[in-house]
Chains A and B, each alone.
Chain A
C-alpha cells in the first residue's frame, strides 16, 4: 500500500511540477530580417504568475504570441502541456488557442457590439461555425457570460455597447471574454498600458485573483518595474530578443531590474 501511495504521490508531485509551457531553443526571425527572439530556453510551471519585462522592441509581444501560435517560430519549439505547438493545425490549433486566453493593450473588443455579445464571442470555439454565426448560444453559456461579467464586476453593463465603456471597463470585459474560454493559461500583453493607476490596480488584481483562486498560469508583459515586483512570482527580462534575466521574485532586486531597462 505504501508503495502505491508513494508512486501516486510522486506522480502527483511531478505533475504539479511539470511545466505547462516550455521554450526549447526558440528563435524567431521576421520575414524582413528583424530578430524577434534569440535562443529562448526556459520553462513556466503550472500556476505561476510570470511577468516579462524589457524595453520596447525587446521581443515581449513576440514571445507571448509564439505560445498560442499567433506567431510562428523559425527555430526551436514551444511546448504547451507537453505538446509541441507546431504540431497543431486547423481545428486542433483552434482548440489549443481555446485553452490560452489573451488580453491586449487595446482591449480589442468589437466596439459596435454589446458587452454580452463580446463576452459570448469568447465561447465560439465550443460551437460549430454555423451556430456561432447564428448566435445560437446555450442557456448555460449565457448564464456563464453573466457569471464571467460578475467576476470582473461588470454585469450591470451587459447590454451596453462596448465603445460606451471606459478603458478599464473595456479591459474587464475583455477578461470576461477570456474567461468564457475556460483557459488554463492567460497571456496579457501590456494589459494596463492605456489605463490610469487606479484601474491598473483593478485589472492587475483581477489577474492575480484568477491566478490564485483558479490556479491559472498567468503571463503578463509589463513596462512598470514596480508593478512587476508587486504582482509577479517570477520575473524574466528580455533584451534584443534574448532572455537576459530570470529570477524568482524573492531574489529580484531593484538594481537588477534597472539594469534590464538600461539600453546598451
Chain B
C-alpha cells in the first residue's frame, strides 16, 4: 500500500510559503520600527559600564534600613490584597452579565462588554498618576488604581471561564423552578469557584509586583521609599529595598502558585 490515495499538497503547502512569509514580514517590521523609533542597540552595550557602576554602588546594602521598610512592604501587600478584592467584588456581577451563555439579551451583554473593554484600555500608570493627583500621595490612590486594574482583568478572565461551563446543571435547576440567582448559586458557582480563586490569586501576584511600581508614582507602599532612596543617591538603601521586594514577591508567588496547584 502506498499513499497514492492521499490528496497532493499544493506547492504553497509543500514549501511552507505561509510560515516563511510571515517570519520574513515580522523581521522586516522589527527592523523598520527600530529604525523609525531611533532605538540604538549600540547604546545599550556602550552604557553597560554605568550599569556596572550602579551595581557596585549597590553592592553595599544598608541592612539596618530593613527595619524602616518593613512597614511599607506590609502596606504594599495590603494595598494589593485590598485592591484585588475590591476589583473582584465589582467584577463578579459584570462577568456574569458578560457571559453569553447566561445573558441572552445582546444589548445588555454588548454594553457590559464595552464597559469592560474600555476599563481595560486604561493604563494602570496613568490611573495611578490621576489618583495621586486627586487623593494626594498615599495608599488610597494605589488601592483604587489596583482595584480598577483588577476589575478589568478579572471580569474578562471570569466571563471566559463562565462561558465554558457545562450547561446541563443549569437546565436541571431551571426545570425544578429555581430563580435566576438560585440557578447561578447552585449550578454556576460550584463549577467555576476553583478557577475564580485561582485567577484571583494570579491577579494578586501581578498586583503585588505592580504596586511596587505604582508606589514610585506616589501611590503608597514600598515604591515611595524606592524613589526616595534613588533621589538621595542612597544606593545602599536601594539595594535593600530591591532585595526585600524580590523576596516578598517570590514568597507571594510561591504561596499563590501552591494554592492554585492545589485548587486545579
Give, as a whole number of angstroms, the nearest-CB distance from B179 to chain A: 5
Interface digits, A103-147 against B, CB 8 Å rule (1 contact, 0 not)?
010111111110001000111110001001100000000000000
Q: Kindly provide the distance from the CB of A71 to the nearest chain B CB, expressed in whole angstroms.
A: 11
With contact pairs A112-B190, A113-B190 given, residues A95 and B177 touching in the complex (Cβ less than 8 Å):
yes
B178 at the interface (CB under 8 A from A): yes
Q: Is B68 an interface residue (CB 8 A)?
A: no
CB distance from A254 to the nearest CB of B (A): 34
Tell me whether A181 and B179 are in contact (CB under 8 A).
no
Asked whether any CB of chain B lies closer than 8 Å to the CB of A172, the reply is: no
In the docked arrangement, what's the CA distance between A110 and B169, Å?
A: 6
Confirm or deny: A94 has a beta carbon within 8 angstroms of a beta carbon on chain B. Answer: yes
Query: Contact between B176 and A97 (Cβ–Cβ < 8 Å)?
Result: yes
The verdict on B175 contacting chain A, using a C-beta distance below 8 Å, is yes
Complex interface residues of chain B between 178 and 215 (CB less than 8 A to chain A): 178-179, 181-182, 185-187, 190-191, 193
Contact of B172 among A96, A98, A174, A180 (CB under 8 A): A174
Tell me which residues across on chain A come within 8 A of B171, comparing CB atoms: 70, 104, 108
**Does chain A have a CB within 8 A of B32?**
no
**Could you tell me the distance in whole angstroms from the C-beta of B104 to the nearest C-beta in chain A?**
11
Q: How far is the CA of A111 from the CA of B173 in the complex (A)?
A: 13
A73 at the interface (CB under 8 A from B): no
Chain B residue numbers with a CB within 8 Å of A94 are 177-179
B173 to chain A, nearest CB (A): 7
B174 CB-CB contact with A under 8 Å: yes
B190 touches A98 (CB 8 A): no
| Most A C-beta atoms less than 10 A away, residue of B166, B171, B186 | B186
Best-buried of B171, B178, B187 by chain A (most CB within 10 Å) = B178
Contact A100:B175 (CB < 8 A) given known A108-B169, A109-B169: yes
On chain B, the residues within 8 Å of A108 by CB distance are: 168-169, 171-172
Chain A residues with CB below 8 A from B190, complex form: 110-113
B185 touches A177 (CB 8 A): no
B172, closest chain A residue (CB) = A108
Residues of B within 8 A of A122 (CB): 176
Bound form: Cα–Cα A212–B133 in Å: 76
A68 within 8 A of B: yes
Q: Of B171, B176, B185, B193, which is in contact with the most chain A CB atoms at under 10 Å from its CB?
A: B176
Q: Is the CB of A125 within 8 A of B168?
A: no
How far is A95 from B156 in the complex, measured between Cα atoms in Å? 35
Q: For the complex, is A50 an interface residue (Cβ under 8 Å from B)?
A: no
In the bound complex, CA of A178 to CA of B173 (Å): 10
Chain B residues with CB below 8 A from A132, complex form:
178-179, 182, 185-186
Q: Does A149 contact B (CB under 8 A)?
A: no
The residues of A that contact B178 with a CB separation of less than 8 Å are 94, 121, 124-125, 132
Chain B CB within 8 A of A102 CB: yes
Minimum Cβ distance to chain A for residue B238 (Å): 48
Min CB–CB distance B155 → chain A (angstroms): 22
Inside 8 A of B174's CB, which chain A residues have their CB? 70, 97
Q: Which residue of A lies closest to B175 (CB)?
A: A102
Cβ 8 A contact of A125, one of B176, B185, B191: B176
Q: How close is B247's CB to chain A, nearest CB, in angstroms?
A: 36
Chain B residues, Cβ within 8 Å of A100: 175
For B177, the chain A residues whose CB sits under 8 A away are 93-98, 124-125, 181
Which residue of A is nearest B171, CB measured?
Answer: A108
What's the minimum C-beta distance from A242 to chain B, rounded to whole angstroms?
26
Q: A93-B177, A124-B177, A125-B176 are in contact. List 8 more A-B contacts (CB 8 A).
A: A97-B176, A108-B171, A108-B172, A109-B172, A123-B176, A129-B181, A132-B186, A174-B172
Name the 4 nearest CB pairs between A and B, nearest first: A125-B177, A108-B168, A108-B172, A97-B177
- Which residues in A have some Cβ–Cβ distance to B below 8 Å? 68, 70, 93-98, 100-102, 104, 106-113, 117, 121-125, 129, 132-133, 174, 177-178, 180-181
Enumerate 7 A-B pairs (CB-CB under 8 Å) in ascending A order.
Answer: A97-B175, A98-B177, A102-B175, A121-B178, A121-B186, A132-B178, A178-B176
